[in-house]
Structure 1
Amino acid sequence: MQIDTYLTDDDLGTQLDKMRQALVVMNKEYVDPLDAADVAEEGIEGMVSSLDPHSTYIPADRAEDVKDQYQGSFGGIGIVFEVPNDTARVISPVAGGPSEEMGVMAGDRIVGIEDSSAVGLSSNEIQNSLKGEIGTEVQITVYRPTMDDRLDFTLTREEIETQSVRSPYMVDDRTGYINITRFTMKTHDEFREAASTLLDQGMERLVLDLRGNPGGVMRSSWQIANEMLGEKMTIVETKGRSEQMNRTISARPGGMLADQPIIVLVNRGSASASEILSGALQDHDRAFLVGRRTFGKGLIQKQFDLGDKSVLQMTVGRYYTPAGRLIQSPYERGEREDYYEEKFSTINQATYHLNEYRESISDSLAYQTDHGRTVFGGGGILPDYVVQPDTAALTHLVQSGLDYAFARKWFTENETDLRETWQDRPEEFQSSFEPSENMMDSFWSFAEKNGVQITENPDSVDTAERVYAAQTAQDEQAFVATRVKGYLARLIYGRGVARPILNRADPIFQEAMSLWPSSQDLAAYHKTAAPTIQQN
Structure 2
Amino acid sequence: MPRIRIRPLFAAGLLAVGLVVGAQVQDAVSGSDDVEQLRKIEEAYEYISRAYVEEVDSAQLAEDAIDGMLAGLDPHSIYISAEDMRAVRESFDASFEGIGIYYEFIEGREGVDTLVVLMPIAGGPSDEAGLQPGDRIVGIDGEGAIGIDPDEVPLKLKGPRGTSVDLEVSRPGYRQPLSFSIERDKIPLNTVIAHYMVDDETGLVRLQRFARTSHDEVRDAIRDLKAQGMERLVLDLRGNAGGLLDQAYAIADEFLPAGDMIVYTESRHAGNRRQYRAKSGGVFEDSPVIVLVDENSASASEIVAGALQDHDRALLVGRRTFGKGLVQQQFPMTDGSVLQMTVSRYYTPAGRLIQTPYTLGESDEDYGADKLAIREAIEDRLAPDGGLIDASAFASEVPDSLVFQTDGGRTVYGGGGILPDYIVTRDSIGAALRTVIGRNLDNEFARVEIERRGDPFRERWENSGEAAFRTGFEVDDATYDRFLEFASDHGVRVVAERPDGDGGDEAVLVRPEVDAVRDDVETRIKAFMARRLFGADAFYPVIGDLDPTLQEATGLWRDAATLAARR
State the TM-score bracket (shorter-chain normalisation). Answer: 0.7 to 0.9
Cα distance in structure 1, aligned partners of 2:241 and 2:436: 20
Residue 334 of structure 2 is aligned to residue 291 of structure 1: no
Which stretch shifts more, 417-426 or 164-173?
417-426
| 1:509 maps to amino acid | L
> Which of 501, 524, 533 matches 2:565?
524
Within 5 A, what are the aligned runs for 1:25-36? 25-36=47-58
**2:417 matches 1:380:** yes
Asked whether the 8 Å contact 1:486–1:499 carries over to 2, the reply is yes
TM-score, with structure 1 as normaliser: 0.75
Deviation, structure 1 residue 277: 0.6
- Give the partner amino acid of 2:195: P
Q: Contact 1:171–1:177 (CA<8 Å) still a contact in 2?
A: yes
Amino acid aligned to 1:240? S
Return the letter of the residue paired with 2:313.
R
2:245 to 212, 218, 223: 218
| 2:59 equivalent to 1:62 | no
Deviations 1:262-305 (CA, angstroms, capped at 9, x unpaired):
11110000011111110111111111111111111111112221
> Structure 1 residue aligned with 2:554, among 500, 510, 513?
513
- Which residues in structure 2 correspond to 1:1-12 (within 5 Å)? 11-12=33-34
Matched, 1:73 2:121: no
Give the distance between the partners of 1:120 and 1:493, measured in 2 at CA.
35
Return closer, same or farther for 1:390/1:179 CA change in 2, 3 Å cut-off. closer
Aligned to 2:180: none
**Distance in structure 2 (CA, Å) of the matches to 1:255 and 1:266:** 22
Query: Which deviates further from its counterpart, 175-184 or 34-43?
Result: 34-43
User: Which of the numbers 343, 346, 350 marks the counterpart of 1:323?
Assistant: 350
Correspondence for 1:235 among 251, 262, 287:
262
Partner of 1:189 in structure 2?
216
SS of the equivalent of 2:331 reads strand
Aligned twin of 1:407: 442
The amino acid across from 2:560 in the alignment is S
- Residues of 2 paired with 1:453 and 1:242: CA distance? 67
Partner amino acid for 1:25? Y
Taking the TM superposition and a 5 Å limit, the aligned residue runs for 1:474-513 are 474-491=515-532, 493-513=534-554
2:452 aligned to which of 417, 441, 444? 417
Deviations 1:235-283 (A, max 9, x none): 1111123333212222222211011111111000001111111011111
* Partner Cα distance (1:54, 1:190) in 2: 28
How big is the shift at 1:37? 1.0
Whole-angstrom CA distance in 2 between matches of 1:402 and 1:283:
37
* 2:505 matches 1:438: no
Taking a change above 3 Å as real, the CA distance of residues 360 and 126 of structure 1, as seen in their structure-2 partners, is: same
Q: What does 1:248-267 align with in structure 2 at a 5 Å threshold?
A: 248-267=275-294
Asked if 1 retains the 8 angstrom alpha-carbon contact of 2:493 and 2:509, the reply is no
Q: CA deviation at 1:203?
A: 0.9
Q: Which residue of 2 aligns with 1:85?
A: none
Contact map agreement 2:493 2:508 (CA 8 A) in 1: no
Distance 1:308 1:12 in 2: 24
Q: Which amino acid aligns with 1:406?
A: L
What amino acid sits opposite 2:59 in the alignment? A
Per-residue deviation at 1:181? 0.8
CA distance in 1, matches of 2:522, 2:321: 29
Code of the residue aligned with 1:382 in structure 2: it is: L
Cα gap change, 1:7 to 1:125, in 2 (>3 Å) = closer
Shift of residue 489, structure 1, vs aligned partner: 3.5
Of 349, 352, 367, which aligns to 2:404? Answer: 367
- Contact 1:352/1:389 (CA < 8 Å) preserved in 2? no
Structure 2 unaligned runs (5+)?
1-22, 102-120, 130-140, 144-151, 165-184, 384-392
Distance, in Å, in 1 between the alignment partners of 2:505 and 2:266 is 44
Partner of 1:397: 433
- Work out the CA distance in 2 between the residues paired with 1:370 and 1:450: 57
State how far apart, in whole Å, the 2-side matches of 1:168 and 1:258 are: 19
Candidates 53, 57, 61, aligned match of 1:39 = 61
2-structure distance, mates of 1:450, 1:31: 59
Q: CA separation of 1:451/1:310 partners in 2, compared to 1, >3 Å: closer, same or farther?
A: farther
Give 3-state SS (helix, strand or coil) of 2:341's partner. strand
Instruction: Check the 8 A contact 2:319/2:420 in 1, yes or no.
Output: yes
Deviation at 1:369, TM superposition (A): 1.2
Deviation at 1:412, TM superposition (A): 6.1
| Counterpart residue number, 1:198 | 225
Q: Is the 8 A contact 2:306 2:418 kept in 1?
A: yes
Q: Is the 8 A contact 1:404 1:487 kept in 2?
A: no
8 Å contact kept, 1:396–1:466? no
Paired residues, what number? 468
Query: What secondary structure is seen at the aligned counterpart in 1 of 2:55?
Result: coil
Q: Counterparts of 1:83-122 in structure 2 under 5 Å?
A: none
- In the alignment, the residues of structure 2 paired with residue 15 and residue 267 of structure 1 have an alpha-carbon distance, to the nearest angstrom, of 43
How far did 1:420 drift? 3.6
Q: Is the 8 A contact 2:492 2:507 kept in 1?
A: no
| 1:166-204, Cα deviation, whole Å (9 max, x unpaired) | 111112221111111111232111111111111111111
Secondary structure of the structure 1 residue equivalent to 2:546: coil
Identity of aligned residues (%): 38
1:352 equivalent in structure 2: 380
Normalising by structure 2, what TM-score? 0.71
Is 1:334 equivalent to 2:361 in the alignment? yes
SS class of match (2:440): helix
* Alpha-carbon distance change, 441 to 243 in structure 1, aligned in 2, over 3 angstroms: same
| 1:354 Cα deviation from its structure 2 partner | 3.8
Q: 1:443 to 1:50 in 2, by over 3 A?
A: farther
Give secondary structure in 1 for the equivalent of 2:276. strand
Distance 1:241 1:381 in 2: 24
- Matched AA of 2:556: L
Q: For residue 146 of structure 1, what is the aligned residue in structure 2? A: none
The reply to whether residue 343 of structure 1 matches residue 371 of structure 2 is yes
Q: Secondary structure in 1 aligned to 2:70?
A: helix
Output the CA distance in 1 between the equivalents of 2:456 and 2:40.
70
RMSD after superposition: 4.2
Name structure 1 gaps, 5 residues minimum: 83-89, 95-105, 108-118, 131-139, 144-154, 527-536
Q: Please give the secondary structure, in 1, of the residue aligned with 2:281.
A: coil
- Counterpart in 2 of 1:282? 309
CA drift of 1:31 comes to 3.8
Q: Shift in Å at residue 93 of structure 1?
A: 9.4
